[in-house]
Each structure stands twice: as C-alpha cells, then as structure tokens.
Amino acid sequence: MDPIDIITAKRDGAELTRNQIDRVIAGYADGSGISDEQMAALCMAIVWRGMTRAEVAHWTEAMLRSGERLDLTGLDRPTTDKHSTGGVGDKITLPLTPAVVACGAAVPQLSGRGLGHTGGTLDKLESIPGWQADLSPERMREQLRDVGGAVCAAGAGLAPADRRLYALRDVTGTVESVPLIAASIMSKKLAEGTGALVLDVKVGSGAFMKDVESARELACAMVGIGTDHKVSTRALLTAMDAPLGRAVGNALEVEEALEVLAGGGPEDVVRLTVELGREMLEAAGLSGAKDPADALADGTAMDAWRAMVAAQGGDPDAPLPQAKERGEVLAPASGVLASVDAHAVGIAAWRLGAGRARKEDAVSPGAGVVLHAKPGEKVRAGRPLFTLHTDDPSRFRAAAEALTGAAELEPAGAKPLPLIIDRVESPTV
C-alpha cells in the first residue's frame, strides 16, 4: 500500500479505509516506510479535507494499538474520568477527583504539564512537597483499589504514535484540525482504561477553541469516538473567557483548590466541580450516589484528597511554596468589572515563571497572578486589581504589560459567556 496513494486520496477528498489508516499509523509509529514529510503531507490534507466519523474512529483505534492499554477491570467500584481541553486557572481536577472518589467512583486521571499560557495539572500538584507524578500501571491499579483516585503522568507506552504525531503537527502547522485534535485526546484517554469519560471543552479567549461553534464540533467528535469505543462519554462546553477562580499559578491554584475542598472557595470553581462531578457519576452509573456538593461540605472530599496526596509521596500538611516577590497592578478607574481577559492573565502568569515556553523548561511553583475582582464585582481606582507573584522581580514589567487592557469596566462590549454553555451527550452522525 503506497503512502503516496493514501496522501493523494485524502488530498482529493476520499474517505480513507481502515486498512489505509492502519498502514499509515503503524508505519509512522515504528518508522517502517512512512516518513515525516509524508505524514506531514497527509495531516495537511486532513486539515483541508477533514475526516468522517468512521475515519476518526479508525484513526483513534490505530493510535491505541500502537501502545499499551491499562486494564482497570476487577476494581470494586466503577471507573470514571474527566478531561479538560485546557485553560487559565483551571484547577478543577484538584477538588473534583477526590469529590468523585468520596461519592463511590474510582478516578484514573492521566494528566499533563502546562505549555504557554495554559496551566498543567501536574505542575500544580508538583508544588506539593514530596508529591510524585510518575506511577507504574501496577502502582496506579493499587492506588485506585486502596484510595480510589490517582492523578499521574501518562506513561510513554500509552498511544506512542500520538506522541510522535503531535510533535510533528506542532512544527508543521497542522495542530488546528478538529478530527486530529479529537483523536489525539481520545487515544490517550481511552488508553487509560476508564469506563466513563466526561469532557470539559473550554470556550473563549483563554481556550484553544475561541468560539462556541468550533468547541461544539470538537465535543461532538470526541463524544462520537468514545461512543464508538463503548465508553460512556459526554461533554460540557464551559466558559474560558475569564480565568476560573481568582488564582492562576501552581501553588496558588492548589491553595484555592484546598479552599474548595474545605467547603469554601470561588463560586465558579465550586459550581463547575459539582456539575462535572455529577456528570462523571451519572456516566459511571452512580447517579443515585452521594452528591459531590455534599462531599465538599462534609469533609469526605478533603479526606480523599489527603489520602491521594499521601499515596503519591506528598505531605498534605506541608506549607506550599511562596514566591519571593510580589507586585500589584492597580485599577485605573472605579466601576463594575465587565470582563477579565483569560488569555492576558495566562500570559502574565507565564511571564512571571508559572508556565513554560518549551516542554523541558522548569516552572516556578510559587509564581502566578491573583485576581482581586471577578466580572460583575466593583473595583475602586488605585486599589489592587491583580497581585503578581514571582521569584524574579525583573519579570514584573513584562507581566504588567500583558495585563494592560485585560480588565474592562462596564459598559463594555460582549456579554460574558455563561459558565456552562452547553451539554453534548449524543455525537453527530
């Protein structure tokens, strides 16, 4: 089967067969006859021509077969997981996982590190002294059995074809393809072996998907993949035009997540934690179980958090790291805050040291931004609007520049998106 024939078929708008897709993915994963140039050409053809639902399902299955798949059968509770497409201040996994565990499910959460303006769950958790991200499949099963939840790094053996393909797409201008994005995300989530999956597809300036239509398209594609692979899958479209909560950074977000686990915390973080938790439990067949809101209120979610942290070597009682220096950005005028640009806040946190430009870069655990007002709240001229945290005061200027114009007072232009925009449970045909 000639790779050039496959490329030209997709270039001309043909639907690729299962055999053609298997040939491409297997050949690229093991280097047996599909070059980087040929795969880049095929990806560009997919960007322009798209893929059918059947093609996306076959593509995902081929990437799954390129590596191992975790076997989570035999646990004494159903498995369910959540995946977020990424945003600013998105610390939801931290309170959500223990809340769902406290309600009777097992949560195998394979997470990643941040890149650019979006934060990574592992970076946040690694700010806890002693906490370790790497778990073997055997250790993960043990922790799910003993504790009920595990948040850890995906091993190199899970969907290795996707790992190589994503690196190629990143340097060839072929990242922005809904079918390829959906297959990339779902190949890794399906490889972890969960029985149910809830997708949190972010929409807005701080998200990869800037508008509701493209986010809905991605959600439908991923729900379709999950459904085709016999995994109970659904999605929520949620707002990322403003940061989630008031803290953006690693240890800063852990501290805010602890407030939620203690029964407090910002209203938007609490609401999204509860709504996603309910979806996860329902998808796992536990709709009549304890409610996540009750688990946050009665302390059982906090108990599960402490057990999860300790199981991975962390000290749940240890003080979190703090940045050495703080600076303030003051409100230029008084009024009611109409909007806060999530992307601008994410860039500021990145410039302060909370994020990385390359995967191998280190992050500062204490760096980040704290918001003193959320949209709809009053601000006063000359009072702090943002507090900047960093170990390197030379970073303040660039971070403050990123925040120029990030906060708008009423009256302003577009109305903010509702926190939960839409729900997708059935894929498009």
Question: Which tokens is 101 given?
Answer: 């565990």
Q: pLDDT grade, residue 410 (50/70/90)?
A: confident
Pairing of strands 378-379, 196-203: unpaired
Q: pLDDT grade, residue 411 (50/70/90)?
A: confident
Higher pLDDT, 415 or 95: 95
Per-residue pLDDT of 183-242, as tens digits, reads: 999 999 999 999 999 999 999 999 989 999 999 999 999 999 999 999 999 999 999 999
What is the pLDDT, as a whole number, of residue 339?
A: 93
Alpha-carbon distance 230 to 91, whole Å? 29
What average pLDDT does range 26-35 have in this prediction? 88
Q: Enumerate residues 6+ apart whose C-beta is below 8 A from 142.
A: none
Catalogue all structural domains in the chain, each as residue range(s) with its CATH number: 3-50 (1.20.970.10), 81-317+420-424 (3.40.1030.10), 325-409 (3.90.1170.30)
Closest CA to 251 of 126, 92, 90: 126
What is the pLDDT, as a whole number, of residue 176?
A: 84
Say if residue 129's pLDDT is above 80: yes
Say which residue the tokens 């140039």 belong to.
37
Per-residue pLDDT of 278-309, as tens digits, reads: 999 999 999 888 999 999 999 999 999 999 99
What average pLDDT does range 37-45 have in this prediction? 96
What is the pLDDT, as a whole number, of residue 114?
A: 76
3-state SS class at 106: strand
Q: Which residues are catalytic, by number?
A: 83, 162, 169, 184, 188
247-256, 357-366, 389-398: least confident range:
357-366
Q: pLDDT grade, residue 412 (50/70/90)?
A: low
What is the pLDDT, as a whole number, of residue 63?
A: 93
Higher pLDDT, 417 or 401: 401
Q: Report the percent of the chain where pLDDT is more than 70.
A: 98
What is the pLDDT, as a whole number, of residue 93?
A: 97
Question: Which tokens is 238 given?
Answer: 């949620």
Q: Provide the 8-state DSSP code for 366.
A: T
Say if residue 429's pLDDT is above 70: no
What is the pLDDT, as a whole number, of residue 286?
A: 95
Q: pLDDT grade, residue 150 (50/70/90)?
A: very high
Say if residue 22's pLDDT is above 60: yes
Beta bridge partners of 336: 378
Per-residue pLDDT of 326-366, as tens digits, reads: 999 999 999 999 999 999 999 999 999 998 877 777 889 99
Alpha helices in 262-341, H assignment, sequence order: 267-283, 292-298, 300-311
Alpha helices in 284-330, H assignment, sequence order: 292-298, 300-311
What average pLDDT does range 71-81 have in this prediction? 93
Q: Which amino acid is at 208?
A: F
Q: What is the mean pLDDT of the chain?
A: 93
The answer to whether the bond into 411 is cis (omega within 30° of 0) is yes
Burial class from Cβ neighbours inside 10 Å (0-12, 13-18, 19+) for residue 19 reads exposed
Beta strand residue intervals within 166-206, DSSP E: 196-203
Q: Provide the 8-state DSSP code for 318.
A: S
What is the pLDDT, as a whole number, of residue 428?
A: 59
Alpha-carbon distance 88 to 192, whole Å? 25
Closest CA to 191 of 89, 104, 291, 63: 63
